[in-house]
Amino acid sequence: MTEGISESKNYSTHQIRVKKGHKMYPYFQQMTQNAKNLYNTTNFYIRQVFTSFTQEKKLQPLQQEVVRTIQQNLQPMNDIQIVAYQKN
């Protein structure tokens, strides 16, 4: 790759329908539910943090909980990332 030129990648998706009677259906059903829950939780956290830092009034209880959770877990997550980076 030449400096200053970004490499473009083409991605494609495929859709496969799995019928309820298929032996893998419960697994895929659970995985899609987990993905949807993760997506919703992430959006919830983003909204809470955004509104926490853009308002002047006292934080609501859910905002306090989200900010506290992030403060407690951010440094340990960063430490894990640093160790993984140093291994490479």
pLDDT in tens, 1-57: 456 666 788 889 999 999 999 999 999 999 999 999 999 999 999 999 999 888 888
Angle at alpha carbon of residue 68, lines to 66 and 71, rounded to 5°: 110
pLDDT at 6: 66
Distance (Å, rounded) from C-alpha 46 to C-alpha 40?
10
DSSP E strands in the chain: the ranges are none
pTM of the complete model beyond 0.75: no
Beta-carbon count within 10 A of 60 CB = 13
